[in-house]
Amino acid sequence: MDLRSLETETKSSIRMKRRARVDFFFGTLFIVMMVIISFVFQIDLVESVYLFTRSHEDWEMDEIIFSFLWIAIVATIYGIRRVLDIREVNKEVSQHAYYDSLTGLPNRSLAQYHLEKLLQRANRSPLTVCVIFIDLDNFKDINDSYGHDAGDLLIEKVGKRLASVVRHDETAARLGGDEFLIIGVFPQGSANIEALINRIESCQHAPFNINDRSISTGFSIGVALSPQHGDSVQALLVAADSAMYEAKRNKRDTACYYTNEIGQKITERYRLSSQLKQAIKNEQLYLVYQPIVCLLSGKIKGYETLTRWNLDGTLINPELIISLAEDIGVSEEFFKWLLKTTLASCNHFLKPDQFIAINVSARQFLDINFLINTQYIISKYSHVKIELEITESSLIADFTETINRIDSLNTLGIKVMIDDFGTGYSSLSRLKQLNVDKIKIDRSFLHDASKDQKSAGIYQSIVDLAHKLDIDVVAEGVETTEQLLFLRQFAPIYMQGYLFQKPQINTKQTAEFIIQDIILNS
């Protein structure tokens, strides 16, 4: 970026320059007029001054004239220095107005101005303007776990890495928070766009040293191109932001290019997000429950709570509800509502020897207020056996903190179950370090294992390891009698699925003897 071509003036500096031009104009006009008057009226100013000083020698006119001369010289120097000071102050003000104080990169205002200039340039020649939106993954969790100072240091180091990979006609900027922007202009059809994206992706490979800690963070990258994805600053920023969000949602390891389909999804997501706030506030969400049963006895051992949202006749996916809650910053409020409502309503069907399982997302689990909120709410329901289901992504985000929080929950009398086990990247050997009560094997494993010998062997290995570690196993997604018969070889285990009951509201739970009949007589 050519900094000399950028507007770095404030309103005050523009006003001062305008006033200086006016003063210069009138000063020049005065000098010209005086010169003209001198010629027209033949005023011999120097001779007149000489004669005046000779006739008043007792006044010491030489000293007086030189005094005025010295004053004029000092005033001129003073004026020049003040002008230079004003320029320096204006430069500092411009730095604060157009550059990010943490990273030193151009800020949103300067980036948008530069993008506008590139679009004007592209309109005059066959060029493609590339806008790349970058968002750090799990930055909130890093902030919560290590503190805001560590978060600021991470932002600073990411900014330096990004600045180091941009080249001529490419600009790195920080928009705010953990969001960065890369802008570039290229010949149409140029392969340099992919080269730039590859350089950006390489920035996330090596961990960052933050206060003697090795912290890794990935990038969610969205790409928009002009003119195909927009021909204005706002259109391109929205398109790149939408593509970035799609990359984050799908947990993609590569950059995501904007498409019309993504635009439609984002529009719908924004609509749902705005309505979710009101739904939580007005308690328009409701809960359903699905039994978790014992393979040996057929008895119901507990229930899993699932959230439902009926929006204009359409049921919204529970995972989408949690994701939206995190997007709009109401994740903590949603968890408190879920825990409180579950414990208040499960009294209608839950027996004293049965547990209630509640899903907790990685962000909710690692939230700084998670343990405080949980302890406060469960204090009113000490008679209820509670289990929290956490995903493997919670383990990956911060394994040490996860161990500490599980131990704290156990102290409160709450057991922990790892949900969708096998779908993440956690090692099986890590199970021995966790005081978890159960693992719930993802439904995809059962679907494959009941049909394929190798998959069945993997299923057997997971169950055997869990049992050796004294961890109970829940087989998720049992939908057919064939799957039930396949699972008999792994007893004792728990089961959950549509074969026994679809998720239902608390007043429509299937009687235990019906489920026992399905299990014992199949």
Return the CATH number at 245: 3.30.70.270
Q: What is the pLDDT of residue 1?
A: 46
What is the maximal distance between C-alpha atoms in the chain? 136
How far apart CA 55 and CA 462 sit, in angstroms, is 118
To the nearest whole percent, how much of the chain has pLDDT over 90?
28
Q: DSSP readout, 249-287?
A: HTT-SS-EE--HHHHHHHHHHHHHHHHHHHHHHTT--EE
Reference 489, options 450, 447, 515; nearest CA is 450
Q: Which residue's structure tokens are 């719930």?
A: 440
How far apart CA 251 and CA 164 sit, in angstroms, is 25
**Would residue 327 count as lying in a domain?**
yes
Q: Are 94 and 187 in contact (CB under 8 A)?
A: no
Q: Is 492 found in the same domain as 445?
A: yes
Q: Single out the residue in 36, 68, 98 at which a domain terminates.
A: 98
DSSP category for residue 434: S
**Would residue 263 count as lying in a domain?**
no
Q: Is 414 found in the same domain as 371?
A: yes
Contacts of 421 (CB under 8 A, 6+ apart): 392, 439, 440, 441, 442, 462
**Would residue 103 count as lying in a domain?**
no
To the nearest whole percent, how much of the chain has pLDDT over 70?
88
**Would residue 264 count as lying in a domain?**
no
How far apart CA 375 and CA 379 sit, in angstroms, is 6
Give the Cα-Cα-Cα angle 200, 202, 204 (nearest 5 degrees). Answer: 90
The mean pLDDT of 472-484, rounded to a whole number, is 92
DSSP H stretches of helix in 328-475: 331-345, 362-365, 370-378, 392-397, 399-411, 443-449, 453-468
Window from 44-58, 257-271, 323-337 with minimum mean pLDDT: 44-58
Q: Is 186 found in the same domain as 153?
A: yes
Evaluate if residue 363 carries a pLDDT over 80.
yes
Q: Single out the residue in 208, 236, 258 at which a domain terminates.
A: 258
Residue 18's pLDDT band, with cuts at 50, 70 and 90, is confident
pLDDT in tens, 202-236: 888 888 888 888 888 888 999 999 888 888 999 99
Q: Is 476 found in the same domain as 421?
A: yes
Q: What is the pLDDT of residue 133?
A: 94
Window from 16-25, 352-361, 423-432 with minimum mean pLDDT: 423-432
Q: Is 309 found in the same domain as 229?
A: no
Q: What total of structural domains would you count in the chain?
A: 3
DSSP H stretches of helix in 99-169: 108-124, 139-146, 148-165
| Token representation of residue 71 | 């004053």
How far apart CA 499 and CA 245 sit, in angstroms, is 36
User: Buried b / exposed e across 98-137, counting CB within 10 Å, b at 16+?
Assistant: bbbeebebbbbebbbbbbebbbeebeeeebbbbbbbbbbb
- 270-273, long-range: CB within 8 Å, 24+ apart, which pairs? 272/311, 272/316, 272/320, 272/324, 273/324, 273/327, 273/328
| Token representation of residue 348 | 């209608």
Q: Which residue's structure tokens are 């997971």?
A: 462
| Domain range enclosing 480 | 270-520
pLDDT in tens, 274-305: 888 888 777 788 999 999 999 999 999 999 99
> Strands 179-187, 127-136: parallel, antiparallel or unpaired by DSSP?
antiparallel
Contacts of 85 (CB under 8 A, 6+ apart): none
Evaluate if residue 82 carries a pLDDT over 90.
no
Q: Is 328 found in the same domain as 453?
A: yes
Q: Is 298 found in the same domain as 252?
A: no
The mean pLDDT of 462-476, rounded to a whole number, is 90
Evaluate if residue 110 carries a pLDDT over 60.
yes
Q: Are 394 and 417 in contact (CB under 8 A)?
A: no
**Would residue 216 count as lying in a domain?**
yes
Measured over the CA atoms of residue 438, residue 443, residue 444 and residue 447, the dihedral's sign is positive
The mean pLDDT of 489-496, rounded to a whole number, is 91
Reference 336, options 284, 374, 371, 286; nearest CA is 374
CATH classification at residue 316: 3.20.20.450
| Token representation of residue 455 | 């998959």
How far apart CA 389 and CA 371 sit, in angstroms, is 15
Q: Is 306 found in the same domain as 420?
A: yes
Residue 478's pLDDT band, with cuts at 50, 70 and 90, is very high
Q: Is 178 found in the same domain as 74?
A: no
Q: Is 144 found in the same domain as 189?
A: yes
Q: In what order do the strands lie in the sheet with 127-136?
A: 170-176, 179-187, 127-136, 219-226, 256-257
How far apart CA 443 and CA 291 sit, in angstroms, is 16
Evaluate if residue 4 carries a pLDDT over 50.
no
| Token representation of residue 141 | 């969790």
pLDDT in tens, 227-273: 888 889 999 998 999 899 888 877 767 789 998 888 888 788 788 88
Q: Single out the residue in 45, 76, 98 at which a domain terminates.
A: 98
**Would residue 472 count as lying in a domain?**
yes
Q: What is the pLDDT of residue 298?
A: 92
Give the Cα-Cα-Cα angle 399, 404, 408 (nearest 5 degrees). Answer: 145
Q: How many CB atoms lie within 10 A of CB 152?
A: 14
pTM of this prediction exceeds 0.85: no
Q: What is the pLDDT of residue 60?
A: 60
Q: Is 289 found in the same domain as 250?
A: no
**Would residue 467 count as lying in a domain?**
yes
Mean pLDDT, the chain, integer? 84
Q: Is 368 found in the same domain as 456?
A: yes
Reference 366, options 391, 338, 341; nearest CA is 391
Evaluate if residue 499 carries a pLDDT over 90.
yes
**Would residue 398 count as lying in a domain?**
yes
> What radius of gyration do the chain's Cα atoms show?
36
CB-based burial label for 265 (10 Å; 0-12, 13-18, 19+) = middle
| Token representation of residue 166 | 């941009």
Which is more confident, 113 or 425? Answer: 113
Give the Cα-Cα-Cα angle 507, 508, 509 (nearest 5 degrees). Answer: 105
Q: What is the pLDDT of residue 180?
A: 94
Q: What is the pLDDT of residue 47?
A: 67
